Chains A and B, each alone.
Chain A
Amino acid sequence: MMNSTSTIRVVTDSTCDLPPNVVQSLGITVIPLTVLFGTEELRDGVDITAEQFFRRLGREKELPTTAAPGPGVFRTVYERLLAEGATEIVSIHVSSKLSATLESARQGGAGLPVTFVDSLQVSLALGVPVMEAARAIQQGATAEQAAAVALDTARRTQIFFTLETLEYLRRGGRMSRGQEFFGSLLQIKPVITVQDGEVHPAARMRTKQKAVEELLRRCAEMRPVSTVFALHASTPDELAHLRDRLHGLAPDSRYVESRITPVIGVHVGPGAVSAGVTRAPDEQSPSFLPT
């Protein structure tokens, strides 16, 4: 454990897509969700890496599914952290409207000093609030303040994905409404976003190139921003392109990049790329904020 002085610990889940160096340096505990190929259970990012996952996805006939960790997994982790000296835990998770993870965490943490945060976000739109909460704790925030920072950061964060195909999202069932927006006849590169904790359609583009431009346009619309981020599923070249463009868009903002974790890859499919922003703090933001 890197950060042995802090007595408040941050827990999240593997849908946060935070790169390993960030996780380590901020002392964040990441609980993996599960990817299932048939009945074969693999812990997200532990038993299967993104590299292995997307290679395997191309070979498998049947599409994999995903599952939240059980309450027992959370209980074990919380108890271990408390035994290691933590006095309080802030557990920040993927939108409760997309996954049962938070519900499982609440059950696992019953009776323990854990503050739960429903980020209503996913991927780095969850990851960035987790980072901010961990930083706030490093700077002396209480668990309550750190949770407020996480919630406020999540509120100011917007993520967009452009998909190669809607097929994975359709089969994964994570888009309850608005699917018909994309139609089914014309070949379309869907652009989706997360709004109020749910997946929503954002734009329908004819080509990948145009869809990527649309991601960047949407991100630029949200300036001024404090953080910009980008992800890719299986196309590192596109990530490099996004990195350059996002730097150009907001040269003074913090930049985070990562690779889409298998459990999200199940729903967005190979070739997906993502970009997002965290808007600068506003008058609604809590007064305790790390600089």
Chain B
Amino acid sequence: MADAPTLALDATRLQRAFEVAERWLAQNREGINAINVYPVPDGDTGTNMLLTWRAALKGGVEGDGAAAGTYLGHVARGALMGARGNSGVILSQIIRGLAESCAGVHTLDTSAFARALEGASATAYAAVTNPVEGTILTVIREASAAAASAHASGEGTEGVLYIMLTEAFASVKRTPELLPRLREAGVVDSGGMGVAVILQGLVCGILDHPLPAEPLVTGTAEVKADAVEHEGHGFCTEFVISGTGLDRSTIEGELAAAGGSSILVVGDPSMLRVHVHVERPEHAFDVGERHGTLAARKAEDMQAQHEAWMDDRDDEDLDPSLLPAIGLVAVAEGRGIAAAFRDLGAGRVLLGQAGVKVSAGDILEAARRAGREHAIVLPNDKDVLMAANQAAAASDGFLTVVPSRSPASGLTAALEYRGEGDAGEVAAAMSEVMAGVRAVEVSRSVRTATVDGVAVREGDAIALVDGRMVAATETLEDALLAGLDVATEDGAEIATIYLGQEAPADAAERLPRLIGERHPDLEIQIMPGGQPYYPYLAGVE
């Protein structure tokens, strides 16, 4: 244990601590992602928090001077612009709170550090419209309260830091008691875990303490994550093996021999889910096929994934005078959905692939290139909503968010988009029509759990209506039909079905008849969506 009787954090030492936290978060990223698999595997909390943290660090590099307060100010700006996903946005608010508490401070002592943590917690709570306990918010609040009371009771620097850290992890462990959805899914809150991991990294950095050799978070007890980072190279490869007597460690060994890293194998002897980073995905598939039957194969180019959230338009010849007065920006996963938004007048579509959420900075930049005087953004995902709100808050009134939570409702809102007129009125009209849309999402469950009172087994097809689980069935078609039954309860005129990457090839032919039998008066339009994770998305109006 390093000798640190008094705390004296200036810009240089803070930066070092932030860097250590970055390394620790990077090592635990996969594990944090893995516990964020509910209800569909868009588990990206770890990735989002890491990218946000890295954006913060990058912001800090731009600063100069030795004052801690100045450094944190730059870090907070970086975080604000680079924040992505709900957890990343809340993290950026935590950092903003730290910075605001430390404005004008040159060197942080223990007392100032404890106060700054409390400021961070308060700012994060204030930033969220409806704070939910059992999340990242609870963890930062309880950790900062523990630090304050430890300091008040006369603990020294190390005492305060360790008591704070112990409380942070205890708080993470308690999250399932506060949030029934976590309890049902049998996991702790991933965002809460992320912030505890960051605090641990910061404490190690502040005290010059070496980081543990093994990652802390491994998703479930039987998961072993490879600590070696292979960011930006090769393919993020995933598949499911079904068979008998499947042995995790044998398969892990063979994947490692095939050149794999970040290996994650979970499940039971009859079915294993494999995640591995590898240069040649077919080598990983070969390993799987030696042991059983493969399903849900996926290989994503990680380099491409990093570049995924790019504006899809070439800006070489952008003439601002040709832009509409009010521009429309849409965030879309899937080329078909992106094309539909463009078709309705979106000047900018932030087209992404799975795994990385768009940041507030990306949205703001796209907005500036979409309209002359105003821009309206459709986030189309509840996890992008906060980043969009953050971008709007930083835009001096240039950007208005129409809070679409699914592509289906976003497309209906886009029908009311006009490039001229009063931006507030246009946005209001867009929000209004959105209320008449019910969104159906069909996917496959990656774990066995009871969600919203529906018992779901791993591998089941599941249907969510407006974010609520309504059915778990064997086939994707049955899940879609069950979802449509619920979504049409109060009457419906038209259903638009967006076919995802994983939709069966004959879906466009089969679905109209299948749905028509149950809902003879419902108009049906089938469109290629190209979205990941959800073989079917539907909007019912």
Stretch with Cβ within 8 A of A (4 or more), from B220-228, B339-347, B467-475: B339-347
Min distance, Cβ A260 to any Cβ of chain B, angstroms: 23
The answer to whether A186 touches B527, judged by C-beta atoms less than 8 angstroms apart, is: yes
Binary A-proximity of B511-541 (CB < 8 A = 1, otherwise 0):
0000000000001010100000000000001
Interface residues of B (CB under 8 A from A): 339-340, 343-345, 411-412, 415, 493-494, 496, 523, 525, 527, 541
Complexed CA–CA distance, A207 and B469 (Å)? 28
A38 close to chain B: CB less than 8 A: no
Chain B neighbourhood of A186, CB < 8 A: 340, 343-344, 411, 415, 496, 525, 527
The answer to whether B493 touches A204, judged by C-beta atoms less than 8 angstroms apart, is: no
Chain B neighbourhood of A181, CB < 8 A: 345
Nearest B residue to A189 via CB reads B494
Min distance, Cβ A195 to any Cβ of chain B, angstroms: 13
Chain A contact residues, majority secondary structure = loop
Chain A neighbourhood of B525, CB < 8 A: 186-187
Complexed CA–CA distance, A186 and B527 (Å)? 8
Query: How many residues does chain A have at the interface if contact means C-beta atoms less than 8 Å apart?
Result: 13
A205-B415, A206-B415, A206-B541 given; A187·B343 CB < 8 A: no
Min distance, Cβ A279 to any Cβ of chain B, angstroms: 21
The answer to whether A206 touches B344, judged by C-beta atoms less than 8 angstroms apart, is: no
Nearest A residue to B344 via CB reads A183
Chain A neighbourhood of B527, CB < 8 A: 185-186
Interface residues of A (CB under 8 A from B): 181, 183-188, 204-207, 209-210
A186-B496, A187-B494 given; A206·B412 CB < 8 A: yes
Nearest B residue to A187 via CB reads B525
Complexed CA–CA distance, A260 and B412 (Å)? 30
Q: Can you sample 25 A-B contacts with CB below 8 Å?
A: A181-B345, A183-B340, A183-B343, A183-B345, A184-B343, A185-B339, A185-B340, A185-B343, A186-B344, A186-B415, A186-B496, A187-B494, A187-B496, A188-B415, A204-B415, A206-B415, A206-B493, A206-B494, A206-B496, A207-B493, A207-B494, A207-B523, A207-B541, A209-B493, A210-B541
Chain A neighbourhood of B411, CB < 8 A: 186
Min distance, Cβ A271 to any Cβ of chain B, angstroms: 13
Min distance, Cβ B487 to any Cβ of chain A, angstroms: 14
Chain B neighbourhood of A210, CB < 8 A: 493, 541
Complexed CA–CA distance, A139 and B523 (Å)? 52
Chain B neighbourhood of A184, CB < 8 A: 343
Interface-central residue, A183, A206, A207, by most chain B CB under 10 Å: A206
Min distance, Cβ A238 to any Cβ of chain B, angstroms: 15
Nearest A residue to B493 via CB reads A207
Complexed CA–CA distance, A233 and B152 (Å)? 82
Complexed CA–CA distance, A204 and B345 (Å)? 12
Nearest B residue to A207 via CB reads B493
Chain B neighbourhood of A207, CB < 8 A: 493-494, 523, 541
Min distance, Cβ B18 to any Cβ of chain A, angstroms: 46
Chain B neighbourhood of A204, CB < 8 A: 344, 415
